[in-house]
Amino acid sequence: MDKSALVIVIIVVMSVLGSFPAANISRKKQKIYSGTLGKIFHHMAVAAYIGVAPAALLGSLVVGPLKLGIPLALTGLALAFVMLLLYALEERSARVGIDVEEHTWTQEDAKTSGL
């Protein structure tokens, strides 16, 4: 196995392992109203986004920044953008008849935030 393939395998493993807790935290913060397809798009977007930094760093250090690091990171960003766009389309169609309560920043939130 050459260095490029090894870097890609490591990045995919890191993305998959890191995406489960990150996607769960995201789901707890804001409910996903769409079905299974929306959840899949959301999870894939999280996994692609998590892999951007390791792709840039590991690809640049092991193979080279212009040969693998930057192109792989930009590919991950593009994949995350496309998956988020598909997720948004699914979520928008699922929220058509639902009254979603948006939490706005209040003076009480500002006092208790500790900022």
Buried b vs exposed e over 24-44: b needs ≥16 C-beta within 10 Å?
eeeeeeeebebeeebeebbbb
Residue 2 has pLDDT above 80, yes or no: yes
Question: Each residue of 67-113: pLDDT tens digit?
Answer: 999 999 999 999 999 999 999 999 998 888 777 666 677 888 788 87
Report in angstroms the alpha-carbon separations of 33 from 56, 81, 93, 96, 115: 33, 20, 9, 10, 32
| Domain assignments of the chain as residue spans, ordered by start | 3-96
Q: Find the helix or strand (DSSP H, E) in which 79 lies.
A: helix 70-94
